[in-house]
Every structure is written in C-alpha cells, then in structure tokens.
Amino acid sequence: MNIHTARRQWPAEGLTRIPYWIYSDRDLYAEEQERIFRGNTWTFLCLEAELPKPNTFRASNLGDMPVVVTRDAAGVIHAFENRCAHRGSLLCLKERGEAKEIVCVYHNWSYDLTGKLTGVAFRRGIAGKGGMPADCKPEEHAPRQLRIAIFAGLVFGTLGANTPPLEQYLGPDHVARIKRVMRAPAKVIGGYSQIIPSNWKLYIENVKDSYHASLLHMFFTTFRLNRLSQKGGLVVSEAGGNHISYSMTQDVAGKEYEQAGLRSANEGYALEAPGELLENVDEFGDGIGLQILTVFPGFVLQQIRNCLAVRRVVPQGLDRTELIWTCFGFTTDDDAIAELRLRQANLIGPAGFISMEDGAAAGFVQRGVAGAGDEESLVEMGGSGTASEESRVSEAAVRGFWKDYRRHMGF
Amino acid sequence: MNIEYMMRVADLNARYVDAIDADRLEAWPDFFRDDGHYRITTAENVAQGLPLSMVYTTSRAMMRDRVRALREANVYEGQRYRHVLGVPLIAAAEASGLRTRTNFMVARVMRTGETMLFATGCYEDRIVLDGPEAAHFAEKTVIIDSRQIDTLLAIPL
C-alpha cells in the first residue's frame, strides 16, 4: 500500500461517488503518469496514415511523456521516448517529417529509427585527449522503446511489462466497432487541438457521459442527431475503462423532451440551411448514425454521420489538458463524400456546434470544485453498475472509467 | 500601389471587426456576398495542404445559422473579442476581386475580466468592390497561426 491509499480513501459508496480531490491532487497526478500512462495500458499514438512511407516520424505522447513514432526503412513502425540518452534533451523537435536517423541537436548523439543509439560524437576524443572512458556504456541509458501494436490503422504503444495483447485489452465489442469505422485505409484531412482548462479525467468523463449529450448540446437535440429516445445503446467493457455509445439515425420517439420542458427542447429554433450542414450518407451500411468509442485511458474514436476523427487526451499538468483532434476520411472517398465530411466537421472541434461546450464544461467543474476537495460527485444515473445497457440516460460508462482507474491506481 | 484599393479594403476590414467586437453578430453575414465562403483553419493544415476547417460555411445562410446557434443553442461563458488588424496587403487585383492578406490579433475578454491573446493569424480574402462605395467578401479564410485553441472558439474571428 502506498502513501496515497493510506492518506486518501475512496468514499464508502463506491463508484457512485467521485471524491473531488481526485482532480487536484498533485501527487496523484504523478502516480497516474506512472501507473496508468506508463503502466499496463495501451495509448493511441497516431494513425498509421500519419507515417505515410518509410523513413518518416511523428511526435506523440504517452501521458505527459514525449514520444517519437517512426516508420523505418523497412516500413516497420517503432516508438520510443523523445529523450536523449546523454543529458535528457528532446531528440525530435518537429511534429512530423522525413528522416533516416535522429540526431540530438545538443551534442549530436545519433539514433536509428528504432531508437537505438548509433553514434556518440567525439567518443574517442581528439588526438588522444578527451572522449568517453571505455567502460562507459551510454547504450544502457537509451530512450525506452515502447511496445507497438497496430489495429485497423491505429497505432498504439505501451511501456507496461504486463500489458495484455491489444485485442484482448480492447475486448470483442471494441474490436468489432473499431473495425466497423475503419472500413478502408484512412486519409488524414486535417487536425487542431484544444487546451482544456481542467484535469484530464474531467474531459474523459465528459466523453463517456452519454447522459449530457442532448442536455448540454442543444444543437444535437433540436436537430435530432442524438436524442436519448432514439434507438441505440451503451456498451461498457468488462474492466470498465472502454465504452461505446451509439444511436441509430431514425428518430423513433415523439415529444418526450418537450413534455419535460427542458431547456434543450426549443422547437421554435430552426436552421435556414440544414441540408448544407447535415446532409449525410450511410457509408457504413448499418443505420448507425453516431458512435462514440473510448479506450482507457485517453483515446476517442468518433463517428458522427460521415464526420470521423480520433482524439488524443494529453495531460499537461494538474488542471490543463490538450485535446488533439485528427479528422480523417478514406483513400477511397469520392469528392462528394469528401465535401460532406468537411461540412459536418462544423459539428465538432473547438468551434463545433455539438462539441464546443465540452471543453468549457470540464473547466466549469475544475473551477466549481476548487474549494470542495472533501466533497463528492454524485454518479447514479442508470443505477450503480457499469454494465452495458440499451438506455443512454445512464452514467454507467463514467462509473466504468472509475472502476478501471481504481484498479490501476490501487484504490 | 493602388491607394484607393487599400483604403476600401481597410474600411471593409474595420467595419467587419467592429461589428464582431461590438457583439453585432447579426451583421456579420452581411459583410459577405450571398454565396460568400468563410472558413477558419490553422496554418499547419494549410502548410500540409489539408482541407479541414474549424468553421466551414459556403453561404450567408450557413453563416446566419451559426449566429443563431450562438444566440440560441450553444452554451459558452460570456466573452468578447478585441481585434487589432494590420494594414491590408493587396496581393493581386483580378477580375474576380482583390486578393488580400490582413494580419490580425484577437484578444478574448471573459466575463471574469480575464484577458488573453486568443488568436493571431492572417485573413486571406477575395474582396469584390461591388458598388461605388460598397465592398463585400467573396471568400474569407481565417488562417490561425497556432493549432491550439483555448477552451473553445464560439464567436467568429
């Protein structure tokens, strides 16, 4: 038992209560980095499509650790710490590019694309003076190499010695639902990021919270993109940390929201040009118009009609998180669907009609609980369990996240 | 150098940002031609030749819809912008309009008083001088220098 489980106790009620100190404890943050991000979990690093050919690299993150992902001359993908064996400098100073080797700018130590140290400048000194002692082994300080697994065009990495194989970690539902979306080779159409003024876990909870979708995001509800009364479901993995929320495109139900008189049901509000924004095609052929899928700890795969994206949640401190979006289509796209994807992207991202509130909501909680470290969050929509269910008026996926979190953190 | 073009573009720019900063968002679409295009993207996307935009409108109707959404649907904490623009650069004068580039810096002021340099970048516009004293944007591309947006981007830039 470590110092923190001795000092901090989870509320006796279990998963239906989240203690607010969890978002503001500095020592816990450091432990999360070690036990979760550098532990026995898989972190999404980048799309395979972002390493388009041999001898390319892409910067990424394992929690707040900087990482380089490469595709070597033989086409094999590797990832290693973005940290020089010598004095700890960043090795790779660019987001992406082409390179046959990586050279540290500080003292010119060189690495191949697997992260193996290949050269130490002036190792033998000059004219018999200086240089490194013969018994010094800098290779032993080399940046740690991540174990890589690629599934459906998604590159995952781990530093955990005991991380289960990726498909086992994902679980059968996630394997199927990821393959469903990644139906052809991906093609990146662009990206951007949001700096969210909150602890990383607040954003993750927001994504798993299917209950808020039509209540905070009025756009969604009014245009019937994801009313909770539409047919669909909530799938939570056995360990709890992975979830899928989905709904069909048909609007089956009637006026449940209007009758409840909720803010979000404003029938007087109509778009002038809804078709230009919302026109879509059933490219997956199964009538599922929305699927939000998460993998513990910080990966999101989004399908909103034809608007597809991966999101990486990167902690940058106790109350600061970078949410990195990469939107994609497929190499098989024609001009028509390519245009639909660009229009529907108005729905997502920092200016998104249905996502702009999420970053702010996480920030509101971080600020709201500033003086309430010993108080607790109430998470009882849908009961107290973490099982999959048909109703999305449920916080089961949020409880599932905490179940998995507690297991990794030893609570 | 055509001084008259520069002045008319500068005047359009000034009126455009004045409307946004003064929260007269309903006037924002009227600075465009009816089939005007407006999009917001990042320098990184442009450099890589990638088409994704944060805001992508291809008509004034879509722009009016965005204003409606901001007024009636979207939830965001009270905030205002303050634009400061550079002198416009007239890159080309073509039959289809003036191709211009104008640098911008936008501060965002929250209801709490917290002020930050929210976005810097360049407007790449095609402007039509469609009357003796009139000018409208046929295309406006807002290219933000950074790929990072703090919290959200609600009000158009």
Task: Say how far apart CA A399 and CA A18 lie, in whole Å.
Answer: 9
**Beta carbons of A223 and A278 less than 8 angstroms apart:** yes
The yes/no answer on whether domain A172-409 falls in CATH 3.90.380.10 is yes
Min Cα separation B92/chain A (Å)? 28
pLDDT of residue A254: 44
Task: Say how far apart CA B39 and CA B21 lie, in whole Å.
Answer: 18
- Is the pLDDT confidence value at A249 over 90? no
Residues in chain A: 411
Min Cα separation B128/chain A (Å)? 24
Which of A333, A346, A347, A355 to mutate: most B Cβ within 10 Å? Answer: A346
- The pLDDT confidence band at residue A267, using thresholds 50, 70 and 90, is low
**Beta carbons of B129 and B8 less than 8 angstroms apart:** yes
Alpha carbon separation from A12 to A20, A32, A263, A336 (Å, rounded): 14, 22, 35, 55
- Chain A contact for B34, CB < 8 A? no
**Beta carbons of A238 and A399 less than 8 angstroms apart:** no
pLDDT of residue A250: 56
Q: What is the mean pLDDT of chain A?
A: 90
Q: The domain at A43-149 falls in which architecture?
A: 3-layer Sandwich (2.102)
The mean pLDDT value for A132-148 works out to 93
Contacts of A260 (CB under 8 A, 6+ apart): none
- The pLDDT confidence band at residue A223, using thresholds 50, 70 and 90, is low
- Chain A contact for B23, CB < 8 A? no
Contacts of A367 (CB under 8 A, 6+ apart): none
pLDDT of residue A218: 78
The residue of chain A nearest to residue B42, with distances taken between CA atoms, is A192
Count CB pairs under 8 A between chains A and B. 125
Between CA A334 and CA A344, with CA A338 as vertex, the angle to 5 degrees is 150
- A96: buried, middle or exposed (CB in 10 Å: 19+, 13-18, 0-12)? middle
- The pLDDT confidence band at residue A236, using thresholds 50, 70 and 90, is very high
Please give the single-letter amino acid code of residue B106. V
The yes/no answer on whether domain B3-144 falls in CATH 3.10.450.50 is yes
Two tokens at B57?
A: 């409108």
The shortest CB-CB distance from B148 to any of A193, A269, A352 is to A193
pLDDT tens per residue, range B32-59: 999 999 999 999 999 999 999 999 999 9
Stretches in chain B below the pLDDT threshold 50: none
Are A363 and B151 a contacting pair at CB < 8 A? Answer: yes
pLDDT tens per residue, range A184-221: 999 999 999 999 999 999 999 999 998 887 777 878 66
Per 3-state DSSP, what percentage of chain B is helix, strand, and coil (rounded to 5)? 30, 45, 30
- Chain B contact for A99, CB < 8 A? no
pLDDT of residue B154: 97
Between CA A108 and CA A115, with CA A114 as vertex, the angle to 5 degrees is 40
- Chain B contact for A64, CB < 8 A? no
The mean pLDDT value for A14-42 works out to 96
**Beta carbons of A383 and A393 less than 8 angstroms apart:** no
Look up tokens 């489980």; give the residue: A5
Min Cα separation B26/chain A (Å)? 14
Min Cα separation A203/chain B (Å)? 11
Interface of A with B in 215-234 (CB under 8 A): 216, 218-219, 222
- Chain A contact for B47, CB < 8 A? no
- Chain A contact for B76, CB < 8 A? yes
Residues of B in contact with A97 (CB under 8 A): none
The shortest CB-CB distance from A272 to any of B58, B61, B73 is to B61
Task: Say how far apart CA A123 and CA A170 lie, in whole Å.
Answer: 45
Are B45 and A192 a contacting pair at CB < 8 A? Answer: yes
Nearest to B32 by CA among B109, B97, B118: B97
**Quick one: which H or E segment has residue A264?**
none
pLDDT of residue A269: 64
Task: Say how far apart CA B79 and CA B60 lie, in whole Å.
Answer: 24
pLDDT of residue A257: 44
- Chain B contact for A277, CB < 8 A? yes
Min Cα separation B96/chain A (Å)? 23
Residues of B in contact with A277 (CB under 8 A): 62, 65
- Chain B contact for A363, CB < 8 A? yes
Domain with CATH 2.102.10.10 in chain A: 43-149
Task: Report strand pairing: B148-150 vs A186-196.
Answer: parallel
The shortest CB-CB distance from A350 to any of B58, B62, B152 is to B152
pLDDT of residue A52: 95
Task: Say how far apart CA A115 and CA A375 lie, in whole Å.
Answer: 46
Rg (CA), chain A: 23
The shortest CB-CB distance from B51 to any of A95, A342, A349 is to A342
**Beta carbons of A60 and A74 less than 8 angstroms apart:** no
- Is the pLDDT confidence value at A87 over 80? yes
Min Cα separation A315/chain B (Å)? 14
Residues of B in contact with A342 (CB under 8 A): 51-53, 56
Residue B152 φ then ψ, to 5°: -160, 165
pLDDT tens per residue, range A37-58: 999 999 999 999 999 999 999 9
Residue A318 φ then ψ, to 5°: -60, -45
Task: Say how far apart CA A203 and CA A366 lie, in whole Å.
Answer: 10
Dihedral sign (CA B127, B50, B67, B146): negative
pLDDT of residue A232: 87
Min Cα separation B118/chain A (Å)? 11
Task: Say how far apart CA A143 and CA A83 lie, in whole Å.
Answer: 6
Task: Say how far apart CA A282 and CA B21 lie, in whole Å.
Answer: 41
Domain with CATH 3.90.380.10 in chain A: 172-409
The shortest CB-CB distance from B64 to any of A218, A272, A343 is to A272
- Is the pLDDT confidence value at A324 over 50? yes
Min Cα separation A59/chain B (Å)? 14
Residue A130 φ then ψ, to 5°: 75, -160
Are A272 and B151 a contacting pair at CB < 8 A? Answer: no
Residue A70 φ then ψ, to 5°: -130, 160
Please list the residues that pair with A43 across neighbouring strands: A157
Longest dimension (CA), chain A: 88
- The pLDDT confidence band at residue A253, using thresholds 50, 70 and 90, is very low
pLDDT of residue A241: 97
Are B65 and A272 a contacting pair at CB < 8 A? Answer: yes
- A215: buried, middle or exposed (CB in 10 Å: 19+, 13-18, 0-12)? middle
Residue A311 φ then ψ, to 5°: -130, 135
**Beta carbons of B6 and B135 less than 8 angstroms apart:** no
Residues in chain B: 157
- Chain B contact for A136, CB < 8 A? no
Are A351 and B45 a contacting pair at CB < 8 A? Answer: no
DSSP per residue over A128-197, as a string? TBS---TT--GGGGPPPBPEEEEETTEEEEE--TTPPPHHHHH-HHHHHHHHHH--S-EEEEEEEEEEES
Are A191 and B54 a contacting pair at CB < 8 A? Answer: no
The residue of chain A nearest to residue B145, with distances taken between CA atoms, is A192
Residues of A in contact with B58 (CB under 8 A): 276, 343
pLDDT of residue A3: 53
pLDDT tens per residue, range A365-404: 999 999 998 999 999 998 999 998 888 888 999 999 999 9
